[in-house]
């Protein structure tokens, strides 16, 4: 006859036992105030740490009736382990004790070593069949009806893959959510989509508006300004769903606070994805593994993702390449595709033997990134430039890190600008040669934008007017160059100075690197923008000064200087927000390229991380998009 303990253990492994939270009347006053504060960051993701329910203790089922008053601490959730308080306790072969639900969650996701002493277990606290069972949240009350209902539920179509060998091809992604269109609404939706894709603004600024007839100009700058406009507030009604793969570093160097911050940041991402968005997580240390396939972030999908992230343990080496390769394979092998897709790498970039302090600013970078991805308005933007006058020649295009091309005859050119987030801006300079002209005006350029609407997949074209300048016999006074043109000139020159300083610093010549930035700062101070105290120019000078300070010594450059310069160089070259410095400082360059959606997501992130764990649970939605109606 099978013992009662074996029966109970089997029931627990099959998730057939009910869990009832501790009641308020059981909690001593001191513990009621402080127990939540001592929760580990990993435990904050667990559904078992929901707020306590004030139900009468007479209705609880006690899994252990021992009258022992002794108590220990579970090394996973850091809560007290008291016999007879509604929690099963597991004692491992190495004699370490844990809450059964805590250690079962770890083992379920592939961790078969003791979290305390790292001993490898021969017997694990979960049975093999349970790996194929889904997690179905239901009211955890003590009645047979709930258990009967659970047994009738259909088998899972996708299990967390760490208990099984990974497939050779990652074509097991969850089907995309079908868009339901009711009769009579098709034309309305088409009209909305047409209005949406046309919300693209383009402006052109010549260096000066008039040039004397007898004067020819070389390297005459024309500024092209583009902006994707969608209004003040981003809504899930008018955005494309995304496929997101996060590649997480769980090597030994990520242990402790870093791993806790990573889990909390991933909890933020999971809670802010909509039900049409799909997520897959890759975890890597010495090798990489996929935690689960691309899964829609419905309520069940969120629970699956939170459980998988909660199970992660830091150990092993750092194989970033293997992690990125597996993330790319998930994207390449998917059967269905959302129009917006991205891979995000979260790593400290350090090997196992390097010690460094965790930098909480990465959560700001992640929040800004998610805010951008959830507001993609334009995809594969290309600008074609054509010289109108036969004697006008294009000499060069300055577009930062974006790909550009000028034809051999100089009559035309193009710039590929990729995707734009809602309200995001792009600027580039076209340098042309203007000949002597006897007519009263000279037509210069005509531009055409082509881009894809991520919702309709349609290609949209936007054409500009013909840009021309006046050609009087003489100009009474020298024309002032528009401040917009001066700003972009300064931006490109600053990026060049940063790149030069970084090259010198990498070769160990920090003194020359500091000097290179100082030389540009002197040039910047003489510009019209600096003399007029232009905000962009002031912030740029402040950023350059900060870079100089971070290159005063080799130690400082290695600690923060390299990352700061790379972040600034990337930001100015791509015209996209990055996280560096104080993200709350409005006078810094951190907010220079932020869009409203990025700023809103950053605000949510900072609000989440400022709230005490006792008043907030990551398992609960934080103004999530999922709380809004489904898109169209």
- b/e sequence 310-334, b meaning 16+ C-beta within 10 Å: bbbbbebebbeebbbebbebbbebb
Pick 491 or 629 by higher pLDDT. Answer: 491
Band of residue 620 on the pLDDT scale cut at 50, 70, 90: very low
pLDDT value for 489: 95
Poorest-confidence range of 298-307, 555-564, 615-624? 615-624
The contacts of residue 141 (CB under 8 Å, 6+ apart) are 18, 20
Pairwise CA distance, residues 326 & 313, whole Å? 19
DSSP string of 386-432, one letter each residue: EE-STT-EEEEEE-TTSEEEE-TTSSEEEEEEEEEETT-EEEEEEEE
Of 11-20, 171-180, 219-228, the range with the highest mean pLDDT is 219-228
pLDDT at 39 over 50: no
Q: Which pLDDT score, from 0 to 100, does residue 517 have?
A: 96
Q: Which position has the higher pLDDT, 125 or 437?
A: 437
Provide the pLDDT confidence category of residue 566 given band limits of 50, 70 and 90.
Answer: very high
Chain length of the chain: 632
What confidence tens digit (pLDDT) does each residue in 106-123 have?
776 666 778 777 777 766
Q: pLDDT higher for 144 or 572?
A: 572
Q: Exposed, middle or buried by CB within 10 Å (0-12, 13-18, 19+), for 58?
A: exposed
C-alpha–C-alpha distance, residues 213 and 471, integer Å: 5
Report the predicted TM-score, pTM, of the whole model to 2 decimal places. Answer: 0.68
Burial 522-544 (b: 16+ CB within 10 A, else e): eebeebebbeeebebbebbbebb
Q: Exposed e or buried b for every residue in 76-102, given b needs 16+ CB within 10 A?
A: bbebebbbebbbbbbebeeebbbbbbb
Residue 510 has a pLDDT of 95
- Residue in 626, 631, 632 with CA at minimum distance from that of residue 236: 631
The CATH class given to the 242-374 domain equals alpha beta
User: Largest Cα–Cα distance of the chain, in whole Å?
Assistant: 110
pLDDT tens digits for range 56-82? 333 333 333 333 333 477 777 777 776
Note whether 517 and 544 are within 8 A (CB).
yes
| Local structure of residue 308 (DSSP, 8 states) | H
The single-letter DSSP state of residue 383 is E
Residue 159, pLDDT > 80, answer: no
Residue range 555-571: mean pLDDT, rounded:
91
Average pLDDT over residues 377-389: 93
The answer to whether residues 504 and 516 touch, using CB atoms and an 8 Å cutoff, is: yes
Domain ranges for the chain: 200-232+376-480, 242-374, 484-575
Pick the CATH number of 200-232+376-480 from 2.60.40.740, 3.20.20.70, 1.10.10.10, 1.20.272.10: 2.60.40.740
Cβ atoms of residues 429 and 221 within 8 Å: yes
Average pLDDT for 165-181: 80
User: Can you say whether the dihedral through the CA atoms of 153, 154, 160, 164 is positive or negative?
Assistant: positive
């Amino acid at each position: 006859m099978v013992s009662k303990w074996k029966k109970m253990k089997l029931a627990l492994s099959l998730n057939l036992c009910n869990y009832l939270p501790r009641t308020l009347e059981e909690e001593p006053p001191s513990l009621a105030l402080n127990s939540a504060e001592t929760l580990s960051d990993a435990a904050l993701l667990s559904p078992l740490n929901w707020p306590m329910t004030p139900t009468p203790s007479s209705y609880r089922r006690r899994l252990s009736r021992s009258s022992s008053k002794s108590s220990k601490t579970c090394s996973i959730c850091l809560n007290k382990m008291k016999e007879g308080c509604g929690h099963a306790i597991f004692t491992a072969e190495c004699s370490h004790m844990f809450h059964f639900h805590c250690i079962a969650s770890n083992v379920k996701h592939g961790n078969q070593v003791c979290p305390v002493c790292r001993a490898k277990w021969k017997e694990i606290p979960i049975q093999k069949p349970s790996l194929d069972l889904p997690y179905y949240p239901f009211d955890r009350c003590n009645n047979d009806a709930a258990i009967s209902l659970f047994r009738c539920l259909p088998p899972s179509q996708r299990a967390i893959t760490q208990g099984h060998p990974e497939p050779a091809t990652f074509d097991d992604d969850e089907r995309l959510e079908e868009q339901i269109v009711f009769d009579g609404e098709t034309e309305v939706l088409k009209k909305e989509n047409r209005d949406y894709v046309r919300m693209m603004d383009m402006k052109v600024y010549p260096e000066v508006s008039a040039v004397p007839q007898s004067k020819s100009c070389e390297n005459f700058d024309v500024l092209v300004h583009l902006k994707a406009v969608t209004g003040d507030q981003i809504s899930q009604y008018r955005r494309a769903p995304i496929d997101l793969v996060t590649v997480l570093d769980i090597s030994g160097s990520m242990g402790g606070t870093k791993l806790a911050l990573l889990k909390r940041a991933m909890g933020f991402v999971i809670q802010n994805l909509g039900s049409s968005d799909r997520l897959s997580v890759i975890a890597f240390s010495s090798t990489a593994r996929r935690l689960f396939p691309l899964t829609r972030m419905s309520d069940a999908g969120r629970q699956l993702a939170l459980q998988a992230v909660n199970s992660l343990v830091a150990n092993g080496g750092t194989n970033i390449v293997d992690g990125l390769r597996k993330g790319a394979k998930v994207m390449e092998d998917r059967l269905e595709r959302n129009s917006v897709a991205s891979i995000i790498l979260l790593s400290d970039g350090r090997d196992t033997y390097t010690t460094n302090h965790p930098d909480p600013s990465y959560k700001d970078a992640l929040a800004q990134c998610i805010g951008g991805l959830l507001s993609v308005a334009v995809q594969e933007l290309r600008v074609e430039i054509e010289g109108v006058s036969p004697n006008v020649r294009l000499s060069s295009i300055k577009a930062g890190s974006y790909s550009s091309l000028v034809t051999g005859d100089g009559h035309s050119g193009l710039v590929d600008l990729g995707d734009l987030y809602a309200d995001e801006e792009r600027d580039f300079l076209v340098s042309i040669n203007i000949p002597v002209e006897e007519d009263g005006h000279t037509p210069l350029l005509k531009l055409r934008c082509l881009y894809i609407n991520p919702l309709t997949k349609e290609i949209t074209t936007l054409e500009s007017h013909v840009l021309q300048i006046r050609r009087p016999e003489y100009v009474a006074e020298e024309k002032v160059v528009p401040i917009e043109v001066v700003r972009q000139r300064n931006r490109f020159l600053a990026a060049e100075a940063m790149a030069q300083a970084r090259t010198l610093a990498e070769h160990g010549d920090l003194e020359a690197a500091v000097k290179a930035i100082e030389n540009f700062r002197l040039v910047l101070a003489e510009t019209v923008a600096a003399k007029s105290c232009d905000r962009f120019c002031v912030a740029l000078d402040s950023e350059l000064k900060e870079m100089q300070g971070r290159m005063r010594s080799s130690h400082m450059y290695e600690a923060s200087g390299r990352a700061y310069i790379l972040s600034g160089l990337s930001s100015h070259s791509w015209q996209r927000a990055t996280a560096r410095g104080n993200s709350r400082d409005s006078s810094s360059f951190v907010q220079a390229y932020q869009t409203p959606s990025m700023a809103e997501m950053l605000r949510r992130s900072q609000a989440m991380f400022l709230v005490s764990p006792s008043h907030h649970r990551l398992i609960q939605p934080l103004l999530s998009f999922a709380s809004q109606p489904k898109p169209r």
